[in-house]
Structure 1
Amino acid sequence: MSLIKRIFNIANEEWNLAVASFFYFFFMMSSYFILRPLRDEMGIRAGVENMQWLFTGTFGTMLLIVPIFGYMINKYPRQKLVPGIYIFFCLNILTFYFLFFYFDTPLISVVFFIWLSVFNLFVISIFWSFNSEIFTPEQAKRLYGPIAAGGSSGAIFGPIIITATVGHVGVTNLLLLSALFLLLATHFLVQLMKHSQSQSERKIIGPIRGSIWEGVKLVVRSGYLRNIGLFILLYTSVSTFLYFEQAHIISSAFEVSEERAAYFGFRDLLVNISTLFLQLFVTERLLRKVGIIFCLTLVPIIASLGFLSLGLNQSIMVLLAVQVLYRSFNFSVQRPSREILFTKVSVQEKYNAKNFIDTALYRGGDAISGWLFTMISSLVSSLQVISFIAIPLSLAWAVTGFRIGKFFSSRSINLDYYESNDVVTKKSA
């Protein structure tokens, strides 16, 4: 144990927090990655020419749900609300289990695709929001890599479970296992809350004042948050272009559903193994020694080179190499760097503004980019030309990452703990 602490630069008083957060993320991502291959296959089954409608439906659903989340976080204490949200999603998974078991129709497949696209953003956004309350910027640079490795380990464990059991229990029964893992994630969330309350100088209490509209106003008023929002919009645009290109290339290369599912499973396995290695041995060193500016611009540069490669060659092997590099560095380097940005904002901004950026703005970028890709593809029949068109978008993303990294480095911590009723210190309590 002491060796692990030294390798990952974890202080004794941080150990319980880091372990609880690791397993919280591990079981949450295990639950999600059991369901993800099913979602990707359903998206292609619905027709690649209709995928922009799936993205638009996801965005519309997100617009309905985000105000509800804003109302609930304004009304209920976080220590009760956050576990309650995870239990609610467990019940959703059980509902889909019965629907697939008795009524496996195309409509249910579409609803499941949209639901899972909403689910993954909400649970991951809440995970990082809660961690940004617990850890300081200095702690985040050291610990977010190992903690994120919990998610990557779960993302590897989920596909392994699918491969080992799907032939024996069937696809539908895997939903029960996904629900169980989400319950285990909720257990470690509760443990993380207990450890943070007993060890941190700040005690998390009460609901957060505000709403989704308060989140929008916070983003509009803050140049720092506006740049984060622009960074997310460009990220979702680039990712959506790559996702749509993937769908077209895969649908042309593989005619059989099982072959496509096998490709997605193999791709996810490579991505998650690469991501885990980077998170354990590279992320912390890059963040601490090279700096957040480099980490925020690295993935956009990889995306630019990836689209250049796809513009020159649309083969499956090139697509696989681009996806593995893009996604592994995105999960291991860009995502922790992006979440560190929120360690220097207020509690209201951590939940109201961050939730708006991570959900409504994120899926809005997906929907807009999906329709933009469809419009361009109707004018330009060649996917290779579309790849070249995406390169300036990736470069604009890199420039925005450089700018927000400079903002972060010069920004002081904006903690309104002593002015807000949301958080008090042990001494004042």
Structure 2
Amino acid sequence: MELRAGETLGVLAMFASLFLILFTAYLLKPAREMLILTEGTAEVRSYAVALQALLLLFFIPLYGKFSRRFDSYRYMQIVTAICVATLLVFAVAGNAGLSISVVYFVWLGAYSVLIISQFWAFASELYSREAGERLFVIVALGASLGAWLGSAVSRELVNYLDAYGLIIAGAFTLALSAIPASRAGLSVPEASRGRSESGVSAQASLFAGFQLVLSRRYLMLMAAFVIMLNLVNTTGEYLLSAILEDLYATGSAAGEIAVDKGTYVGRFYGGFYFMVNLFGVLIQFFLVSRLIRVAGFSIAFMLTPLVIFLGYASLALLPIVGWFRYFKIAENSLDYSLQNTARQMLYLPLSRQEKYEARAVIDPFGQRLGDLIQAGLIFAGLHVLGWASTDFIPLATVMAACTLTLALLIIRERSRLLSAQHKTDTDNITGE
């Protein structure tokens, strides 16, 4: 982690903004689980995840169209304000007695990836590729710390606040997150800034982001990777919630659990997210920069899909359900820290349009499309094939192998892209 003259204030501002965004996320996530698993079931949760992809199919083209009309920071302010207002509406509706669990679950899934994608699009436009590769490790530490502290706070708050109280708290911290980002835009030294681009005409196609992704092999591989990575992860989330339901039913019947299901679920996920984000902070602080510097970007990018594949393969061979929680902690910790940092670096060599519009397709829509496929697999497995929840583990192993293969193809394509850009820059300097 190398800071150069004039970079400290901007990096700290970006760090603080991302810290607050992730702190907010871990106030809102336990509220989501409390609502969906008390008003529904793990199966309903799986189908609600799928609806997020359908929502984004309509929303992403509008997002891309409006992103061309505003500068990057102004657009970030607008998106944040809309999200804060929506959270307050959810809290008011829930307190009024309306059932909001499925709608809130769907909205939060879209929000979670979109708000983070928006932040990283702003960051990758603000910094040059060279500066981003040095500084994103520090900025991403804000995400890990925010997520960890947010989960620690929410673990305690579930004893005092209901889901709607957590939502109101999240609206407040999200509003605060826009303040330091304004400082960052003014504090980045010229030598560290990304190249200014005029942007795309506001008259460009409404589906320009989808067209971009389909027109470039590099972007298509990234989209496929995000879909598969999320498909594996959400299958694991379904398994975890199904196991949790079984534990609550068994414990309640035996008289070992004295609290209601909402409190039980809130405490479990508060503790689970706390451990995920604690390890995420440790990985981000002690491992990520060292791994990228010593082993290189390719190894850093490959490590998470490799661990996920080995984990599911071991579970397929020896299905010890009690160990699954710890594997999910390891998987999510690596995904939220090392993998997230490396994945943001994939966008640094790209144009502004690709950083905003293609990213809005790849990250939010790609993740939610993975959710949609996952819901179809869960439905087919449960209702057509008659599987139990643990029967999905071998399928998750195959999907993890596909994810690992896509990671290898992305590394090869990125090397080709950087070589071509280096040749172009050299030709421009020499006048050829």
- 1:142 and 1:288 in contact (8 A); partners too: no
1:153/1:64 CA distance change after superposition, 3 Å: same
- 2:239 and 2:390 in contact (8 A); partners too: no
Instruction: State how far apart, in whole Å, the 1-side matches of 2:196 and 2:24 are.
Output: 27
SS at match of 2:400: helix
Q: C-alpha displacement at 1:58, in angstroms?
A: 1.2
1:392/1:145 CA distance change after superposition, 3 Å: same
Instruction: State how far apart, in whole Å, the 2-side matches of 1:332 and 1:132 are.
Output: 17
The residue number in structure 1 matching 2:180 is 188
1:147/1:386 CA distance change after superposition, 3 Å: same
1:414/1:175 CA distance change after superposition, 3 Å: farther
Map of 1:331-342 to 2, 5 A cutoff?
Answer: 331-342=336-347
SS at match of 1:76: coil
Instruction: State how far apart, in whole Å, the 1-side matches of 2:59 and 2:189 are.
Output: 29
Amino acid in structure 2 at the alignment position of 1:294: I
Instruction: State how far apart, in whole Å, the 1-side matches of 2:395 and 2:322 are.
Output: 21
The residue number in structure 2 matching 1:4 is none
1:56/1:285 CA distance change after superposition, 3 Å: same
Residue 127 of structure 2: which of 105, 127, 135 is its match?
135
Residues 32-68 of structure 1, C-alpha deviation per residue, up to 9 Å, x if partnerless? 1101011123333312222343123211111121122
Gaps of 5+ in 2: 250-260, 422-432
Amino acid in structure 1 at the alignment position of 2:5: N
CA RMSD between the two structures: 2.2
- 2:131 and 2:192 in contact (8 A); partners too: no
Q: C-alpha displacement at 1:224, in angstroms?
A: 0.9
1:405/1:301 CA distance change after superposition, 3 Å: same
Residues 162-182 of structure 1, C-alpha deviation per residue, up to 9 Å, x if partnerless? 244444454423323211211
Instruction: State how far apart, in whole Å, the 2-side matches of 1:413 and 1:198 are.
Output: 25
Residues 350-400 of structure 1, C-alpha deviation per residue, up to 9 Å, x if partnerless? 111111111222211210122113212331524333211221211111111
Residue 97 of structure 1: which of 84, 87, 91 is its match?
91
Residues 107-158 of structure 1, C-alpha deviation per residue, up to 9 Å, x if partnerless? x111111111111111000111111112233333332222111111111222
Q: Are 1:18 and 2:11 an aligned pair?
A: yes
Map of 1:24-39 to 2, 5 A cutoff?
Answer: 24-39=17-32
Instruction: State how far apart, in whole Å, the 2-side matches of 1:358 and 1:320 are.
Output: 26
Residues 279-327 of structure 1, C-alpha deviation per residue, up to 9 Å, x if partnerless? 1111011112212222222222222222234335555641221111101
Q: Are 1:111 and 2:103 an aligned pair?
A: yes
- Calculate percent identity across the aligned residue pairs: 22
Residue 369 of structure 2: which of 364, 367, 383 is its match?
364
Instruction: State how far apart, in whole Å, the 2-side matches of 1:98 and 1:55 are.
Output: 23
Q: Are 1:147 and 2:139 an aligned pair?
A: yes
Residues 173-206 of structure 1, C-alpha deviation per residue, up to 9 Å, x if partnerless? 3323211211111101211222238775557586
Amino acid in structure 2 at the alignment position of 1:59: A
The residue number in structure 1 matching 2:395 is 389
Amino acid in structure 1 at the alignment position of 2:31: L
1:102/1:284 CA distance change after superposition, 3 Å: same
Instruction: State how far apart, in whole Å, the 1-side matches of 2:320 and 2:210 are.
Output: 42
Amino acid in structure 1 at the alignment position of 2:142: G
1:353/1:212 CA distance change after superposition, 3 Å: farther
Instruction: State how far apart, in whole Å, the 1-side matches of 2:307 and 2:148 are.
Output: 23
SS at match of 1:13: coil
1:169/1:359 CA distance change after superposition, 3 Å: closer
The residue number in structure 1 matching 2:426 is none
Residue 273 of structure 2: which of 264, 268, 271 is its match?
268
Instruction: State how far apart, in whole Å, the 1-side matches of 2:89 and 2:420 are.
Output: 42
Q: Are 1:9 and 2:2 an aligned pair?
A: yes
Q: Are 1:86 and 2:80 an aligned pair?
A: yes
The residue number in structure 1 matching 2:230 is 236
Instruction: State how far apart, in whole Å, the 2-side matches of 1:336 and 1:202 are.
Output: 18
Q: Are 1:376 and 2:369 an aligned pair?
A: no
